Copies of this chain bind each other. A is one copy, B any other.
Amino acid sequence: MPIPMAVCELLSVGTELILGDILNTNTRFLSQALAALGIAVQRHGTVGDNPERLAEDLRAALVRSRIVILTGGLGPTADDITKEVVCAVLGIPLVLDARQMAAIERFFRVRGAPMGETNRKQALVPEGCTVLYNDNGTAPGCWIPWKGNVVVLLPGPPREMEPMFREKVVPLLRPFSSGVIVSHQLRTVGLGESLMAERAGELLDGENPTVAPYAKDGESYLRITAAAPDETQAEALCAPVIGQLAERLRGYVYGIDQLLEEAAVKALRQAGKTVALAESCTGGGISTLLTEVPGASEVFGWGVVSYANECKQALLGVREETLRLWGAVSEPCAKEMAEGIRAASGADFGLAVTGIAGPGSSNTDKSAGLIWLAIAGQNGVRVRQLSTGRNDRRYNRTIAAKQALALLLEELQKKATPSNGGSV
């Protein structure tokens, strides 16, 4: 990176993390947010609710990093020790913050609940710090300048930590940022990570922007990251590289910085079209993805989860002989499902999926990972077969849902159509 950056490290505090009871999502959130600010995170550390180990690790961090951000251990109970240990290490006394005390008293008064003596502890803050008042809980955060360094204390629950960081810490961190980092994702579907990387070619070797390939559950994307003194310059570095990559990956790129379901809802809305769903092996997974997008109701109104053959017949009009002759996991069944839900709903598109998610299989001639997709529109119905080759229920369901949305997007974008069939 061409810009010198302030060095930062993250220290998470909590026995529940050390025991693996909860997943640490805070370090990921903070790492991404700090990178965007042009602040280099070099280490993540986690310790339990143990004063000696926390003090030892904090001392080590202060020696090597200009910014140390601690999360967790700010609660009201005896095992919440972060503030006390930090003050002991820095040699700063804890003092009562009147505004925070009033906020805690109000919190309990509003709820008509008695306030415990332990809650008083949450109104104590390191002397001379900037108090980061918590809009989503009773634990305040603290911004503590110390000998040219800064120590930041944030609450552990992501619902409290994330807005506090965004709204109150980011403005304070700006002076430590000697530039900005801008990052975009060029998202593709239908192409594996290695083929995507191959097509990207020597663009993967760039230094500013850097281009890195990633893959997860049937989607592959390239992350394009540029560093510059300001956002305009960083964007200007990214733009031509994104353009070249999009050209090389033509037919597989479905969007920039957006999820497949967001792209689908957006494309439907722009085209003024609606979709209805008939799902078998995905069990409502496509519906769930689409309706996670606010405003999905404008483009999606009807879904049927037809796990049972009787449901396929009654609600989707799949014919008995189709099921008898070809089975529920077959091209004819997928077609009839798509046509059936389109006819019942009056939607512009009927999208259907039927497959074998696994584990195991009750069909002797069909194996887990076999999936049929179909999309019915005004010009007829188009099908696609997938074979994931895996006996992994979660994976197969995810792939089927993603590929179904990709098929819908293709139809909407009238993209060059890869040949029917093919494995994932």
**B45 near A19 (CB under 8 angstroms)?**
no
**A307 near B315 (CB under 8 angstroms)?**
no
Query: Which of B23, B214, B307, B315 touches A291 (beta carbons < 8 Å)?
Result: B307
Chain B, Cβ-Cβ closest to A344 = B314
Known contacts A44-B17, A283-B290; A277/B300 CB under 8 A: no
Which of A26-34, A84-92, A147-155, A402-410 forms contacts with chain B?
A: A26-34
Chain A: interface size category? 35 or more
Chain B residues contacting A277 (CB-CB under 8 Å) are 305
A57 at the interface (CB under 8 A from B): yes
A145 at the interface (CB under 8 A from B): no
- Alpha-carbon distance A284/B404, docked complex (angstroms): 16
**B304 near A304 (CB under 8 angstroms)?**
yes
Chain B residues contacting A29 (CB-CB under 8 Å) are 20
Query: Which of B19, B212, B283, B308 touches A41 (beta carbons < 8 Å)?
Result: B19
**B393 near A294 (CB under 8 angstroms)?**
yes
**A304 near B301 (CB under 8 angstroms)?**
no
Query: Which of B12, B17, B288 touches A288 (beta carbons < 8 Å)?
Result: B288
Chain B, Cβ-Cβ closest to A40 = B18
If over half of A's interface residues share one DSSP class (helix, strand or loop), that class is named, otherwise mixed; here it is mixed
Q: Report A280-310 residues with CB < 8 Å from chain B CB.
A: 282-288, 290-292, 294, 296-297, 300-308, 310
Query: Which of B22, B45, B301 touches A310 (beta carbons < 8 Å)?
Result: B301
Chain B residues contacting A344 (CB-CB under 8 Å) are 314-315
Chain B residues contacting A16 (CB-CB under 8 Å) are 212, 214
Measured between C-beta atoms, what is the minimum distance from A256 to chain B in Å? 16
A25 at the interface (CB under 8 A from B): yes
**A53 near B43 (CB under 8 angstroms)?**
yes
Query: Which of B32, B44, B50 touches A45 (beta carbons < 8 Å)?
Result: B44
**A20 near B24 (CB under 8 angstroms)?**
no
- Alpha-carbon distance A29/B57, docked complex (angstroms): 23
A253 at the interface (CB under 8 A from B): no
Number of copies: 2
**B18 near A28 (CB under 8 angstroms)?**
no
**B19 near A35 (CB under 8 angstroms)?**
yes
Query: Which of B18, B32, B311, B359 touches A44 (beta carbons < 8 Å)?
Result: B18
**B296 near A302 (CB under 8 angstroms)?**
no
Measured between C-beta atoms, what is the minimum distance from A351 to chain B in Å? 12
- Alpha-carbon distance A223/B306, docked complex (angstroms): 37
A191 at the interface (CB under 8 A from B): no
A47 at the interface (CB under 8 A from B): yes
**B297 near A301 (CB under 8 angstroms)?**
no
- Alpha-carbon distance A31/B291, docked complex (angstroms): 35
A345 at the interface (CB under 8 A from B): yes
- Alpha-carbon distance A275/B20, docked complex (angstroms): 35
**A284 near B291 (CB under 8 angstroms)?**
yes
A42 at the interface (CB under 8 A from B): yes
Proximity bits, A41-85, B CB within 8 Å = 1, else 0: 111111110100100010010000000000000000000000000
A21 at the interface (CB under 8 A from B): yes
**A45 near B43 (CB under 8 angstroms)?**
yes
A394 at the interface (CB under 8 A from B): yes
Query: Which of A50, A53, A285 has the most chain B CB atoms closer than 10 A to its own CB?
Result: A285
Query: Which of A18, A42, A277, A393 has the most chain B CB atoms closer than 10 A to its own CB?
Result: A18
**A48 near B53 (CB under 8 angstroms)?**
no
5 CB-based A-B contacts, threshold 8 Å: A43-B46, A43-B47, A283-B291, A291-B305, A303-B306
User: Interface on A for B, CB 8 Å cutoff?
Assistant: 12, 16-25, 27-33, 35, 41-48, 50, 53, 57, 60, 212, 214, 223, 277, 279, 282-288, 290-292, 294, 296-297, 300-308, 310-311, 314-315, 344-346, 359, 393-394, 397
